[in-house]
Amino acid sequence: MTPFNSLRYYLSEHPSIVGFRWSHAQSWGSTWSFLFSSIALYISAAVLLHALLLLLFRHRRPLPLGPVPAAHSLCMALISATIFAGTVLSAAAEIRDSRWLWRRSRTTPFQWLLCFPLGTRPSGRVFFWSYVYYLSRFLHALRSFVAILRYRKLSFFKLFNHSIMIFMSFLWLEFSQSFQVLAILLTTLVYSVVYGYRFWTAVGLPSACFPFVVNCQMALLSCNLVCHFGVLLLHFVKGGCNGIGAWVFNSVLNGAILLLVLNFYVKMHLRKISEEFTITFLHHLFNLMHYRAESGKLD
Q: How far apart are CA 181 and CA 90, in angstroms?
A: 10
CA nearest 76: which of 159, 164, 144?
Answer: 144
**Position 19: which residue type?**
G
In degrees and rounded to multiples of 5, residue 89 shows phi and psi of -65, -40
Q: How far apart are CA 85 and CA 188, in angstroms?
A: 9
The residue among 281, 18, 250 whose CA lies nearest residue 128 is 18
pLDDT at 215: 80
pLDDT for position 285: 45
Give residue 100's pLDDT: 56
Q: CA-CA-CA-CA torsion for 165, 168, 169, 170, nearest 10 degrees?
A: 120
pLDDT of 269? 57
- HSE-CB at 271 with a 13 A cutoff on CA atoms is 6
Per-residue model confidence as pLDDT tens for the chain (299 residues): 688 888 888 999 999 999 999 998 888 999 999 999 999 999 999 999 998 888 887 776 777 788 888 999 999 999 999 999 999 999 999 888 876 566 666 778 888 888 888 888 999 999 999 999 999 999 999 999 998 888 878 888 889 889 999 999 999 999 999 999 999 999 999 999 999 999 988 888 777 777 788 788 878 888 888 888 888 888 888 788 899 988 888 888 877 777 777 776 676 655 555 455 455 544 444 554 544 445 554 44
